[in-house]
Amino acid sequence: MTADSSARPTLNSVAKQAKVSRQTVSNVLNAPELVNSETRERVQAVIEQQGYRPHRAARQLRTHRSQVIGLRIDPIGDGISGVVLDRFLHSLTATAEEHDHHIMLFTARDDDAEVRAYGELVDTVGVDAFVLTGTHHGDARTQWLREQKLPFVTFGRPWGATENHAWVDVDGATGTELATDHLIQRGHQRIAFVGWPAGSGSGDDRRAGWQRAMREAGLTDDRTVEVADGIDGGRAAVDRLLSADPPTGFVCTSDSLALGVVSELRERGLNPGTDVAVTGFDDTPVAEMLGLTSVSQPVAEVAAQCIHQLQAVLRDAAIPEPALLAPQLVVRGTSG
């Protein structure tokens, strides 16, 4: 059977052409890690050739699952840092669709409202699982989901020592260490860190990478400022740091902060990339447009890993191994 045939392709037709069993085709669709790579690629090629799509209604009746995954979305804020979550949402939706899942978006003003939404979505829509973003210390959302035995995965590691669940994250400490080493190799020794207030799991992680690089180079790591995320926070940081013995380099926790630093430096007559170096984090389109050196997160890979882990959790398998992914430094003009 081919995609040109008038009959609708079926599990049987795919199995027959690929010379495998129906169960193997089902495993390729629902549990690909159970099938060796050669067989999996052959079956996937036949699926694409025939244009086979699993009968969603039949699958729901058989598995008692809706194939729907819930995800809370937040306001973008200053329109810069939120771009990372926009990229994540796009990649997550595309990857979920490849595995016959669909993303349902909802809003909530805080964690408590998000928890209430979980219960409503499970009761009214039959949502199978949830993807969480922005994990933090004492996260009530993950605690509630574990207590209710509801499947979920987080983009962001659990910051509590006793938490144990499926998660995918980007190694922020490695990212800021790359940025700091880059400035050190360019000859900078007075390098400041512009970060979020202490207590933010990801913010503290990024600060640790800067500290590690400075200490390994034998440099002083006391030039640090804690500010709220955003362009105004970056401006305020420059105002506090440009005193006696000012830094020649700034490593920032986000592109929003870095752009605030760049703006304030220019207003003070300093040229980023020549007089002083600046790096950001997130590699947003704004950073690319303005020539800002920044740490790039592998967002598409994060999304793919989230769906992979959710599939394992939905099959009632053991909690999968967490995935801590490495970022890359994208060097542009602001670092010299």
pLDDT for 3 equals: 42
> Under a CB-based contact definition with an 8 Å cutoff, are residues 249 and 183 in contact?
yes
* pLDDT, tens digit, 9 for 90 and up, residues 244-257: 789 999 999 999 99
- All residue ranges of the chain with pLDDT < 50 are 1-5, 57-58, 60-63
Output the pTM of the full model.
0.79
Which pLDDT score, from 0 to 100, does residue 1 have?
A: 40
User: Which residues does 277 contact at the CB level (< 8 Å), separation at least 6?
Assistant: 183, 186, 188, 248, 249, 250, 293, 334, 335, 336
According to DSSP, residue 80 is labeled: S
Please, what CATH class does the domain formed by 66-170+299-326 belong to?
alpha beta
Domain boundaries, the chain: 1-37, 66-170+299-326, 172-297+330-335
Could you please state the CATH topology (level 3) that the domain comprising 172-297+330-335 is classified under. Rossmann fold (3.40.50)
Shared fold status for 66-170+299-326 and 172-297+330-335: yes
pLDDT at residue 62, rounded to an integer: 46
The residues, any chain, with a CB within 8 Å of residue 141's CB and separated by 6 or more, are 111, 114, 115, 118, 132
Distance CA 91, CA 308 (A): 13
Structure confidence at residue 58 (pLDDT): 47
Q: What is the pLDDT of residues 51-85, one digit of tens each?
A: 887 655 445 434 456 789 999 988 766 657 678 88
The pLDDT, as a whole number, for residue 82 is: 75
